[in-house]
């Protein structure tokens, strides 16, 4: 860089001497142009220095690219954290590689351009740390293939940081390839604090580079099985269809493959999400079976199927724990839980002192209409809910001081004379008072109460009174949920029984409880349940896809694992369209040296050799220098 | 002819056009130029009332017969022209570029040619040269030998030293007693106000002033391809400059100088000619001579 400076200074001394007559004008002109002259000298000098600099850099063949930035080529170890969740299989267009494939190819190319530094892979499915011998094989190895699992980004980053802290492998970087799907990033996870602290403790220069691919808005559809349960001689599937873009009314063909036979029907979709139910017939002799529901191929092939399996019929047993087992309220609830004509439905009403009689594992629903329990009963109840059970709580006249699942009853309030408590808004797309499958609205607005009870504690208010206090509150605990209702279905409290809202509430809670009983046949990909146990062999039963990737333990499908029949589905969170925003990312990684590189799908490489650019720059600087050095054509003096 | 600065062909062609003075001249012999005095030429000037002492031979009897009053008929007095050539021989006049003649060489050609034409039409020509001071004075004469004297002197001029043109013009103004044509050949690298004073002085003495402002083309165009060290021809001052950087400012200063000089010349009603040394001599002289015919008063 000093060469042009020296040349410049030497050049300045090489003057030609000329005898001159009009010296006075020269002196005047020199005085007036002193600033301009200095600026021009500086510009010429800068051009020469930059030209030499560009030449030197061009010869060094640097790598550039938005991903690496400048000088990103001198890394010894790259720890690649690969999100290979189902959402990474989204494609920008037909025939285009998926986000996972595209990012792997680009990373492989980039690593080759960088001179193949050591590559350590941590994939989201297995979470294992493995050395990849060469970037070439990265897109081919089994640990980078597609899965139907969900990613746990904070956990993976923690592993990467721990690895770097333990091995200290020289100048390193963590590359995170992810589609920034919000559920995978678990923004509320407390491990983010550990990630931040861990990254800060790494040697200076250890950067976190996040690579994501912009796919734009696609016409992708995804199918999700919310629940499946066998009721008598049919299996009921609760399905959810989601699409990335609301393009108005759309007729979507859906294929049902049930017990080996295939049927198809079209479903008309409005909006971005559609929940629907499908009942498929079973024979009384069917003890076990399976099937799947499929969508036509679209931009993500991994979210077009939902698998189910079923076993034999199970009895529907509801336990009502009442402070007054022979009372009016208990009678109404018992009729609602075991209506006449439903043979498999049964209901037993017991007093709080008899809770030890409850057979918790087979219970479909627990209705508690007594002072809230404590001790062993409370523990059993909590454990039951956490395991996926459904519980319904009604108030009593008796004072209750305990709390269950963090919820307790407050004071009882009577409506003023000749007035009622009426409800405010309620949740119509979720919970026990949701609209019917056919869109019918429940008669909640007809609800009138003359007595109510306050519900205390943190939960989701699915319906409120008109003064915004909770009418029904849901508390989700573990895999199950409990509903607290702020009034009783008897005349001295409300017309809940008259409006049949108590019947709907009980039946829908039974439905929820039945899912637990049938959940032994269903799990999500990558879960502990989906893995083979000792002495278990895995056999895939469905023929939805020809899977030879060796990734069965991370893929959805119907499997026979030893004696177990199991329908494995994609994690429901993988259908989420929510992304982590840049602002949120900045908060999560506050204090961490990171860069986010959002790449278009049609770009080939993350980095490119930049020597051409520098040669062009060299040419440019030389041209500018020549232009500045040119004698301007003087204006004619007339 | 032994004088390089004379071109006989040009002189032969220009000899057909008379070189006139623009103002009445005061000469010592009769000639072709108007005089401020009334004389005996054939050109009628005016009538004026007779006053005692007037030559009675000049009474117009016909006018007396018509008007019963005595009138003296006056005619223009024609006289000869005295031309003084003042040549600036300071160091700056030695500048030349490329194949062009130097400014002093161009001045020689003009002064010699005009001297020849003036003497040949029966008028007088003289020469003065100046650098720091007026160092040569050849009084005007109409004799044929005067030309040789002038030519020899022109040939011997060696430009050097600083310019003392202003002082020289003041001296010339003082020394020339009668009205004359004063032709100044210089690059006028002097203070414009001082030059204006000197020209006013000449004009006050009722001289007809002609200025030949000589510039080299490179002084005007200022085209150089690299940095130069400029050494002043008069005082040796050195200026190091990159012409491409100061070209605009130089042109601006030069333009201001030329406009200023022309304005000062116009103020004293001088006949101003800005010439570059690559100009065609015959055209230059022809324009000068014919231009004076139209400006005659």
Closest CA to A255 of A269, A267, A245: A267
Partner residue facing A22 (CB), from B189, B223, B247: B189
Q: Which of A518, A544, A563 is the last residue of a domain?
A: A518
pLDDT at B1 over 70: no
Per-residue pLDDT, A600? 59
**Same domain assignment for residues A180 and A56:** no
**Same domain assignment for residues A204 and A323:** no
Nearest C-alpha in A relative to B229: A17
Q: Which two structure tokens, joined as six digits, stand for B7?
A: 């071109």
CA–CA distance, B155 with B44 (Å, rounded to integer): 44
Decide if A26 and B93 are in contact by the 8 Å CB cutoff. Answer: no
**Position B128 confidence tier, pLDDT thresholds 50, 70, 90:** very high
ipTM surpasses 0.90: no
Decide if A22 and B219 are in contact by the 8 Å CB cutoff. Answer: yes
**Same domain assignment for residues A367 and A507:** yes
CA–CA distance, A85 with A145 (Å, rounded to integer): 10
Which of A254-258, A581-585, B58-62, B262-266 is the least confident region?
B58-62
**Same domain assignment for residues A459 and A446:** yes
* Domain CATH number, residue A482: 3.40.50.880
Mean pLDDT, to the nearest integer, of A127-139? 89
- Whether residue A81 lies inside any domain: the answer is yes
Tokens 């829908």: give the residue.
A508
Q: Which of A518, A553, A568 is the last residue of a domain?
A: A518
| A574 vs A217, residue with greater confidence | A574
Backbone angles phi, psi at A46, to 5 degrees: -65, -40
Query: Does any CB of chain A come closer than 8 Å to the CB of residue B216?
Result: yes
**Same domain assignment for residues A321 and A405:** yes
- Whether residue A278 lies inside any domain: the answer is no
Q: Which residues share a beta bridge with A18? A: B230
Per-residue pLDDT, B120? 85
**Same domain assignment for residues A39 and A98:** no
The answer to whether residues A505 and A483 touch, using CB atoms and an 8 Å cutoff, is: yes
Decide if A16 and B232 are in contact by the 8 Å CB cutoff. Answer: no
The answer to whether residues A574 and A181 touch, using CB atoms and an 8 Å cutoff, is: yes
Tell me what the pLDDT averaged over chain A comes to: 85
CATH of B8-23+81-294, one of 3.40.50.170, 1.10.540.10, 3.40.50.410, 1.10.8.60: 3.40.50.410
**Same domain assignment for residues A469 and A357:** yes
Decide if A21 and B219 are in contact by the 8 Å CB cutoff. Answer: yes
Mutation pick from B246, B274, B275 vs chain A, by most beta carbons of A within 10 Å, is B246
Per-residue pLDDT, B33? 56
Which of A503-507, A606-610, A624-628, B104-108 is the least confident region?
A606-610
Query: Does any CB of chain A come closer than 8 Å to the CB of residue B226?
Result: yes
Query: For chain B, what's the residue count?
Result: 297
What's the gap in Å between the CA of B232 and the closest CA on chain A? 5
Tell me what the pLDDT averaged over chain B comes to: 84
- Express each pLDDT in A409-435 by its tens digit: 999 999 998 889 998 999 988 889 988
Tokens 């650019």: give the residue.
A613
A289-294 vs A407-414, strand pairing mode = unpaired
Partner residue facing A15 (CB), from B221, B240, B246: B240
Partner residue facing B230 (CB), from A26, A636, A637: A26
The answer to whether residues A368 and A426 touch, using CB atoms and an 8 Å cutoff, is: no
Angle, to 10 degrees, between the axis of helix A191-201 and the axis of helix A153-167?
30
CA–CA distance, A167 with A159 (Å, rounded to integer): 12
Q: What range does the domain containing A40 cover?
A: 2-14+25-62+612-629
**Same domain assignment for residues A358 and A412:** yes
CA–CA distance, A617 with A614 (Å, rounded to integer): 5
The answer to whether residues A217 and A203 touch, using CB atoms and an 8 Å cutoff, is: no
- Express each pLDDT in A452-474 by its tens digit: 999 999 999 999 999 999 999 99
Nearest C-alpha in A relative to B160: A21
Query: Does any CB of chain A come closer than 8 Å to the CB of residue B293?
Result: no
Global pTM reads 0.54
| A205 vs B62, residue with greater confidence | B62
CA–CA distance, A601 with A617 (Å, rounded to integer): 28
**Same domain assignment for residues A384 and A458:** yes
**Same domain assignment for residues A159 and A204:** yes
| A115 vs B258, residue with greater confidence | B258
CA–CA distance, A492 with A503 (Å, rounded to integer): 18
Q: What is the 3-state secondary structure (H, E, C) of chain B?
A: CCCCCCCHHHHHHHCCCCCCCCCCCCCCCCCCEEEEEEEEEEEEEEEEECCCCCCHHHECHHHHHHHCCCEEEEEEEEECCEEEEEEECCHHHHCCCCCCCCHHHHHHHHHHHHHHHHHHCCCEEEEEEECCCEEEEEEEECCHHHHHHHHHHHHHCCCCCCCCHHHHHHHHHHHCCCCCEEEEEECCCCCHHHHHHHHHHHHHCCCEEEEEEEECHHHHHCCCCCCEEEEECCCCCEEEECHHHHHHHHHHHHHHHHHHHHHHHHHCCCEEEEEECCCCHHHHHHHHHHHHHHCCC
**Position B153 confidence tier, pLDDT thresholds 50, 70, 90:** very high
Q: Which two structure tokens, joined as six digits, stand for B17?
A: 């056009």
**Same domain assignment for residues A44 and A185:** no
Q: What distances in angstroms separate CA B72 from CA A331, B30, B44, B59, B77, one per listed residue?
A: 160, 22, 11, 5, 15
Q: In B, which residues are within 8 Å of A12 by CB distance?
A: 227
* Domain CATH number, residue A102: 3.40.50.410
- Express each pLDDT in A171-218 by its tens digit: 888 999 998 999 999 988 888 999 999 888 888 778 888 988 776 667
Q: Which of A467, A497, A518 is the last residue of a domain?
A: A518
Size of interface A-B (CB pairs under 8 A): 120
- Whether residue A245 lies inside any domain: the answer is no
Mean pLDDT, to the nearest integer, of B112-140? 88
Closest CA to A185 of A176, A174, A172: A176
**Same domain assignment for residues A174 and A118:** yes
Q: In A, which residues are within 8 Å of B96 by CB distance?
A: none
- Express each pLDDT in A475-498 by its tens digit: 998 888 999 999 999 999 999 888
- Express each pLDDT in A34-82 by its tens digit: 777 778 788 888 988 888 888 888 777 666 655 555 444 568 889 999 9
Partner residue facing B95 (CB), from A16, A21, A32: A21
- 3-class DSSP state of A436: coil
Per-residue pLDDT, A633? 56
Residue A406 DSSP one-character state: T
Domain boundaries, chain B: 8-23+81-294, 33-79
Partner residue facing A634 (CB), from B94, B226, B251: B251
């Amino acid at each position: 860089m000093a060469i042009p400076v020296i040349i410049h200074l030497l050049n300045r001394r090489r003057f030609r001497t000329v005898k001159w007559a009009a010296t006075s004008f020269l002196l005047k002109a020199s005085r007036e142009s002193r600033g301009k002259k200095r600026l021009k000298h500086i510009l010429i000098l800068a051009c020469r220095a930059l030209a030499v600099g560009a030449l030197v850099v061009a010869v060094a063949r640097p790598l550039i690219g938005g991903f690496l930035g400048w000088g990103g080529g001198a890394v010894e170890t790259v720890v690649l954290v690969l999100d290979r969740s189902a959402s990474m299989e989204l494609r920008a267009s037909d025939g285009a590689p998926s986000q996972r494939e595209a990012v792997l190819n680009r990373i492989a190319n980039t690593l080759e351009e960088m001179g193949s530094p050591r590559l350590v892979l941590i994939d989201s499915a297995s979470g294992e740390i493995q050395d990849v011998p060469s970037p070439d094989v990265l897109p081919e190895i089994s640990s980078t293939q597609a899965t139907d699992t969900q990613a746990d980004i904070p956990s993976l980053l923690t592993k990467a940081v721990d690895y770097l802290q333990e091995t200290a492998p020289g100048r390193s970087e963590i590359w995170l390839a992810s589609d920034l799907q919000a559920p995978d990033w678990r923004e509320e996870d407390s491990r983010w604090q550990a990630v931040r602290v861990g990254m800060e403790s790494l040697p200076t220069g250890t950067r976190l580079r996040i690579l994501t691919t912009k796919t734009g808005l696609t016409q992708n559809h995804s199918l999700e099985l919310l629940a499946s349960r066998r009721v008598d001689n049919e299996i009921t599937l609760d399905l959810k269809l989601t699409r990335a873009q609301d393009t108005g009314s759309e007729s979507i063909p859906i294929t049902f493959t049930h017990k080996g036979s295939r049927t198809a029907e079209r479903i008309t979709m409005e909006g971005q999400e559609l929940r629907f139910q499908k009942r498929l017939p079973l024979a009384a002799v069917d003890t076990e079976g399976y099937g799947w529901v499929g969508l036509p191929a679209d931009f993500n092939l991994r979210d077009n199927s939902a698998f189910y399996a079923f076993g034999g019929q199970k009895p529907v047993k509801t336990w009502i724990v009442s402070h007054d087992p022979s009372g009016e309220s208990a009678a109404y609830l018992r009729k609602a839980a075991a209506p006449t004509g439903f043979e498999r439905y049964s209901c037993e009403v017991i007093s709080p002192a008899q809770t030890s009689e409850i057979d918790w594992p087979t219970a479909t629903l627990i209705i508690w209409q007594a002072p809230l329990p404590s001790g062993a009963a409370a523990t059993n109840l909590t454990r039951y809910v956490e395991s996926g059970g459904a519980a319904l709580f009604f108030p009593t006249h008796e004072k209750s001081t305990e709390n269950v699942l963090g919820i307790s009853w407050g004071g009882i309030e009577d409506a003023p004379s000749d007035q009622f408590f009426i409800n405010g808004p309620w949740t119509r797309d979720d919970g026990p008072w949701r609209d019917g499958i056919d869109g019918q609205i429940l008669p909640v607005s007809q609800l009138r109460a003359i007595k109510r009870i306050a519900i205390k504690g943190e939960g989701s208010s699915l319906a409120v009174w008109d003064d915004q206090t909770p009418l029904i509150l849901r508390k989700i605990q573990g895999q199950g949920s409990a509903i607290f209702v702020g009034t009783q279905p008897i005349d001295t409290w409300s017309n809940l029984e008259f409006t049949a809202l108590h019947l709907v509430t009980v039946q829908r809670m039974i439905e929820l409880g039945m899912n637990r009983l049938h959940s032994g046949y269903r799990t999500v990909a990558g879960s502990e349940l989906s893995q083979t146990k000792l002495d278990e062999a895995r056999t895939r039963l469905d023929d939805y896809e020809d899977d030879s990737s060796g990734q069965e333990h991370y893929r959805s499908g119907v499997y026979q694992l030893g004696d177990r029949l199991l329908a494995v589905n994609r994690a429901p969170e993988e259908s989420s369209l929510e992304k982590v925003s840049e602002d949120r990312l900045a908060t999560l990684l506050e204090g961490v040296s990171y860069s986010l590189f959002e790449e278009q799908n049609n770009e080939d490489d993350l980095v490119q050799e930049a020597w051409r650019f520098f040669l062009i720059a060299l040419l440019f600087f030389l041209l500018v220098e020549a232009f500045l050095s040119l004698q301007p054509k003087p204006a004619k003096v007339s | 002819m032994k004088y390089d600065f004379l071109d006989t062909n040009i002189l032969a062609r220009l000899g057909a056009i008379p070189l006139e003075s623009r103002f009445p001249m005061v000469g010592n012999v009769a000639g072709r130029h108007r005089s401020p005095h009334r004389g005996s030429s054939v050109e009628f000037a005016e009538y004026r009332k007779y006053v005692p002492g007037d030559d009675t031979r000049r009474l117009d009897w016909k006018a007396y017969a018509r008007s019963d009053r005595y009138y003296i008929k006056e005619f223009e007095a024609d006289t000869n022209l005295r031309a003084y050539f003042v040549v600036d021989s300071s160091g700056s006049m030695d500048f030349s570029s490329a194949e062009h003649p130097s400014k002093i060489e161009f001045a020689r050609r003009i002064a010699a040619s005009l001297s020849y034409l003036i003497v040949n039409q029966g008028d007088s020509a003289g020469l003065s040269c100046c650098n720091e001071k007026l160092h040569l004075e050849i009084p005007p004469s109409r004799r044929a030998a005067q030309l040789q004297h002038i030519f020899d002197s022109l040939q011997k001029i060696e430009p050097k030293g600083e310019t003392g043109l202003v002082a020289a013009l003041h001296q010339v103004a003082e020394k020339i007693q009668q009205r004359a044509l004063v032709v100044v050949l210089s690059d006028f690298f002097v203070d414009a106000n001082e030059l204006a004073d000197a020209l006013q002085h000449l004009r006050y003495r009722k001289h007809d002033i002609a200025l030949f402002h000589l510039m080299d083309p490179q002084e005007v165009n200022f085209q150089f391809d690299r940095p130069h060290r400029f050494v002043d021809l008069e005082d040796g001052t050195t200026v190091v400059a990159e012409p491409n950087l100061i070209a605009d400012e130089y042109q601006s200063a030069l333009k201001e100088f030329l406009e200023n000089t022309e304005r000062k010349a116009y103020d004293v009603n001088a006949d101003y000619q800005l010439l570059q040394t690559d100009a065609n001599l015959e055209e230059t002289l022809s324009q000068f001579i014919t231009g004076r015919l139209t400006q005659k008063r």
